[in-house]
Amino acid sequence: MTSLCQMTNVREIDGVIGIVAVIRPGAANENKKRSFTRRYQGLEPTTYPHLSLEPCLRSTFGLVVFEEHVLQICEAFAGLPSGRADVLRRALNKGKGDVILAIKEEFAACASERGHDAAKVAEVWELVTGFAGYAFNKAHSTAYGVEAYWGAWMKRYHPAEFLAAVLTNGKGFYAPLVYVLEAHRLGVTFRPPSVNEPGPAFMVHGGAIRVPLVLAKGLTERTARELMAERSRAPFTSLVDVFHRVRPAQEEMELMIRAGAFDDFGQTRTAQFWEAQWLHQSFQGTGDCRQSWLLAPPGMERLPEVSLREPTRLERLAAEHELFGYPVSGHPLEVFAGIAWDTYCPVSRLGEHVGQEVVTCGLVVEQRTHHQVTGEPMKFLTLADWTGMVESELFAATYRSHGLATVRYPVLEVTAKVEPFENGNGFTLRVLRAGKPRTTGTTEAAPK
C-alpha cells in the first residue's frame, strides 16, 4: 500500500479510498493497479467501454474497482434485474462457475433487448467477470481509507505514541519486529522491561517506549497477573520484594533477570542471579517470607563473594531477542554484528541508482509467495538495513534459482535492479540474485 500510494502520487482522500479497493484481489486483476495509477495522474486517458457506464465509473477513471460496480454495470448497460446482478456478484466472489455461466445468458439476452451488438456485450461481460475474487465495496474502502489517513497523521506527528498503541493492541499486518525497526528509523528507542511497569501496555516515556514485562516468553499467566495486581497495589522496592509478593518460579525469576526487569534497583545482573538463587534455596520456592531456615546450611549464610563477569551487550541483546522476538535495549540489527553492512549500498541511497544494478543487504522482515499470470511462483520480500526498509520481488526465473536462499539466510544479500515508478516518486527492487551476506569476522555488537 505504501508503494501504491507513491506510485499513484495520491493527493486527496478520494484517491486513498480508490487505491484501498484497487489493491484487493478482485479489483487488482487485469493490471488495474497500473491503469489506475496512470489515469489518476493523467498519464493515460480515461476511457469507458460504453457511454452508459460513465456515471458509475467516472470516479474511478473508467475502471471497475468497487464491489457494487458489478451491480451498477449490469443494471446500467444490460438492464439485468438487481437481484440477479447481486447473485452474479456473490458468484464471482466465490468462484461459482455454473452460476456465472447461467447469468451470462441472462446478461446477453437483456443487453440484446437494449440494442447492444454482440461484440460490445462480450466486451462488457469480460469487464464484469474480470472482477473476480475478494473485493471491497466503496463504504468499506472509505472506512479503511479514512482510518489509514488518521493513522498516517498520528504516525507523522506522534510516532512513539502511535507505534506503542499498535504494539499494545497487536494490530497491523506485520510482526512486532517490523514496527520496532520502523520506530528506530523514526528515532524512537525502547526501554527494557521493568517490574514497576509490567504492562500489559507499551508505555511512552520521553519519546521512548517501555516494553511490557508480561510479554516475556516463558512467563506464566499466573505470574503475569500477580505482577500487575501487586504493582497496582504498591511499587516494588527490590528483587526480594518482588519474590515475596509475586512468588515466581525459579525459572521465571531468572528470565526476568535476563530481561533486565530488576536493573532499576541498581544491582548487577550477577548479584541479581545469586540473590535469586539464595531466595529460592532459603524459602524453597514457597515465596512465604515467614517460612525459612532457622539456621541456613553451610555456604548459604550470605551471598557468595564471586567476581563472575557480567553479560556482554551482545549477550543481553540476544537474551532480549529470545524473550520478546526482538532486541529491546538496542537496534534489532545489532544481533547481526558480523554482517559487513558498510560494504553494501544502503537502502536510503538506492534511489540514487535508478535504472542501475546494485548490491544491497537486509534483514528479511516479511516475505510472501505469489503466482504470476503464468501460474509460476514468485516471491515478494521486505528487506531492512540500518537506514530503512525496501520492497523487492523475485520473479519466477529468479525465484527458481535463488528462492532457497530467502529462507536459508535471515540476512540476505541481493543483487537487484532499481526500477523506478513511472512518476519518479519511488522505486522497487527487481532481484536478480540472492545469497549469503558478506561478514566482517567480528562477533561484537555495534556500539550503542
Q: List the chain pLDDT tens, one digit each, 448 residues.
A: 888 898 899 989 999 999 998 887 655 555 678 889 999 999 999 998 888 989 989 989 988 888 888 889 888 888 888 888 888 888 887 778 888 888 888 888 898 888 888 888 888 888 888 766 667 889 999 999 999 999 999 999 999 999 999 999 987 778 899 999 999 999 999 999 999 999 999 999 989 999 999 999 999 999 999 999 999 999 999 999 999 999 999 999 999 999 999 999 999 999 999 889 888 887 764 445 455 554 455 555 555 555 567 889 999 999 999 999 999 999 999 999 889 999 999 999 999 999 999 999 999 998 889 888 788 899 999 999 999 889 899 999 999 999 999 999 999 999 999 999 888 888 889 999 999 999 986 555 554 4
pLDDT for residue 27: 59
Overall fold of domain 158-314: DNA polymerase; domain 1 (1.10.150)
Q: Give me the residue spans of the domains in the chain.
A: 2-140, 158-314, 341-435
Residue 339: what are its φ and ψ, rounded to 5°?
-75, 135
Rounded CA separation 359/118 (Å): 53
Rounded CA separation 357/429 (Å): 9
pLDDT for residue 86: 87
Which residues partner with 208 through β-bridges? 205
Is residue 346 classed as helix, strand or coil in its secondary structure? coil
Cell of 426: 519511488
Domain 341-435 indexed as CATH 3.40.50.150? no
CB atoms within 10 A of CB 169: 10
Residues near 284 by Cβ (< 8 Å), separated by ≥ 6? 291
For 18, 158, 182, 215, 292, the CA distances from 176, given in Å and listed in that order, are 28, 18, 10, 12, 43
- Fold agreement between 158-314 and 341-435: no
pTM of the model: 0.81
pLDDT for residue 80: 84
Residues near 354 by Cβ (< 8 Å), separated by ≥ 6? 418, 419, 420, 427
